């Protein structure tokens, strides 16, 4: 592998290595994007640009706008659309694939190899009679949420930039097109493995497994406590990879639940093999806390409701395990590997809520009063009162910071969030008793770094979308400012952290894009 690229590079200077393209024709179809008329820059992620090592003005380099709108091809790029299958809403959907995404290839960056993909670049052989386009509305949502999740420290695919075009695209109504440039170490999904298992192509399945083993080598060595994986058989490496994937998803689910994030479409083809949040469709950061909240209006049975997300992740992991069954002779070993999700999930969730509550891990002498009971208790109160999830946790963080000076009166602002504060007051008695064993100032600082002031609420997205449709991208830029560092105060942006307006209750988010 070549060395990572230094900082301050032009995009044209990136070294393309295209490892997925080298897997063979069974995995993808080579093709170029379909051009759009009059492409215009809309938004950029300066954070991702810096992480990749790009120059601040990389977007002004000749030909870059054309290449990232699908109207030209970078030198060294090998564009392709990959094939995969999957379960959608619990049912086998058969062959799917990159129906409106085109992988330009893989480049070496300052943070290592990254795949660059255009979403909305036109039809592919996997578009299933669709147009292969993305509309401005959904593209703004994915651009903002990809970078919002990165700001929260949650594993995610990233969004480098966004291009608009007046090309008309019809969904429920006539809209305009947009193209998103998104970035990840890999866009391989559970569905890639399911595809080759379903067509009984064991050779391709083994090739794909080796590909992700190579991608994950460093993390696998950490997981197995080995300095090299050479001593393991291929089957042992696959089992270690399944273990690592199960643990990664236990961590990811705990992080989603901790910030009140609802994905909306946890189909197996929307599950990243690397444990990244991927495919931002009908997502939502909850306003009023409701464990049974369904953010996707296409999810008529509530399969992907907030409280169900960890269980769905486990179900999807077993679909992945079934796909690996032809590579691992003993299925009991697969079940054992994936069961690490169940053992790690409660530990990861408790760790998340300990941070949100500003608590350090309990000593063994205190295990008769686990912090999980405090977390469960306040979540029950929040659900009963339908209290705004993000605002509660941030106000609680601020209140703990004032507690040493103001005593119980520090929590008056939190009380105001409840119509009936008796349940909260009863819970607060136990919480303050627990805080006696903590350094309260340190607890408050920990909470402020764990409970974001800003999340990407649906109404904030909608305001930015409507402004962008009118040709004003300033709301996207303003949101990017706070979402890139959501734990900071950002004076002057308080309205972004306020309760949603009444009209936000009527917003309907579905799978349409």
Exposed / middle / buried, residue 198 (Cβ in 10 Å: 0-12, 13-18, 19+): middle
What φ, ψ does residue 282 adopt, rounded to 5°?
-85, 55
What are the CA-CA distances from residue 326 to residues 37, 199, 235, 245, 331 (Å)? 47, 12, 10, 18, 9
Other C-beta atoms closer than 10 Å to the C-beta of 292 total: 10
110: left (phi over 0), alpha (psi -120 to 50) or beta: alpha
Signed CA dihedral, 486, 491, 497, 502: sign only: negative
429 carries an active-site annotation: no
Sign of CA dihedral 79, 83, 87, 91: positive
The DSSP secondary structure of 439-459, one letter per residue, reads: -HHHHHHHHHTTS-S----HH
Per-residue CA distances from 180 to 38, 81, 143, 165, 384 (Å): 15, 15, 7, 11, 40
Residue 30: in which H helix or E strand, if any?
A: strand 28-30
Kindly name the residue from 269, 287, 299, 371 that is annotated as catalytic. 269
Which helix (H) or strand (E) covers residue 81, if one does?
strand 80-82
| Pairwise CA distance, residues 107 & 67, whole Å | 15
Catalytic residues: 269
């Amino acid at each position: 592998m070549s060395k990572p690229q230094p900082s301050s590079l032009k995009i044209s200077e990136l070294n393309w290595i295209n490892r997925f393209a080298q897997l063979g024709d069974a995995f993808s179809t080579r093709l170029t994007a379909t051009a759009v008329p009059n492409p215009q820059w809309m938004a950029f992620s300066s954070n991702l640009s810096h992480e990749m090592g790009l120059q601040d003005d990389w977007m002004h380099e000749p030909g870059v706008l054309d290449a990232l709108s699908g109207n030209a091809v970078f030198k060294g790029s090998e564009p392709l659309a990959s094939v995969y299958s999957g379960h959608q809403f619990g049912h086998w959907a058969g062959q799917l694939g990159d129906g409106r995404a085109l992988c330009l290839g893989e480049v070496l960056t300052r943070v290592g190899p990254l795949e660059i993909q255009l979403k909305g670049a036109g039809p592919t052989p996997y578009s299933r009679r669709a147009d292969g386009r993305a509309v401005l509305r959904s593209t703004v949502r994915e651009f903002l949420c990809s970078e919002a999740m990165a700001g929260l420290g949650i594993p995610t695919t990233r969004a480098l930039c966004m291009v608009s075009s007046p090309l008309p695209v019809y969904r429920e109504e006539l809209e305009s097109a947009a193209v998103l440039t998104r970035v990840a170490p890999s866009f391989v999904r559970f569905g890639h493995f399911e595809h080759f298992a379903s067509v009984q192509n064991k050779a391709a399945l083994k090739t794909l497994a080796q590909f992700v083993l190579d991608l994950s080598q460093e993390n696998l060595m950490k997981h197995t406590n080995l300095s090299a994986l050479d001593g393991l058989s291929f089957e042992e490496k696959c089992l270690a990879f399944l273990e690592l994937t199960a643990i990664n998803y236990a961590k990811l689910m705990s992080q989603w639940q901790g910030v009140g994030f609802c994905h909306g479409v946890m189909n197996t083809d929307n599950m990243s093999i690397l444990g990244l949040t991927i495919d931002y469709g009908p997502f939502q950061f909850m306003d009023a806390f409701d464990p049974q909240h369904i953010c996707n209006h296409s999810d008529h049975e509530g399969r992907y409701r907030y409280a169900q997300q960890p269980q769905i992740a486990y179900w999807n992991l077993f679909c992945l395990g079934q796909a690996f069954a032809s590579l691992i002779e003993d299925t009991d070993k697969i079940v054992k590997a994936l069961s690490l999700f169940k053992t790690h999930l409660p530990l990861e969730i408790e760790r998340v809520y300990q941070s949100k509550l500003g608590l350090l891990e309990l000593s063994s002498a205190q295990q008769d009063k686990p912090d999980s009971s405090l977390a469960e208790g306040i979540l029950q109160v929040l659900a009963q009162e339908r209290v705004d999830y993000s605002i509660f946790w941030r106000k609680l963080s601020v209140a703990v910071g004032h507690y040493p000076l103001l005593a119980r009166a520090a929590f008056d602002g939190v009380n105001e969030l409840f119509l009936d504060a008796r349940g909260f007051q009863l819970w607060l008695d136990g919480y303050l008793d627990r805080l006696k064993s903590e350094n309260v100032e340190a607890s408050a600082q920990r909470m402020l770094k764990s409970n974001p002031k800003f999340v990407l609420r649906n109404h904030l997205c909608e305001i930015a979308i409507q402004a962008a449709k009118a040709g004003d991208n300033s709301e996207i830029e303003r949101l990017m400012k706070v979402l890139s560092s959501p734990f900071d105060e950002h004076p002057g942006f308080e309205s972004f952290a306020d309760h949603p307006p009444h009209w936000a209750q009527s917003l309907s988010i579905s799978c349409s894009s």
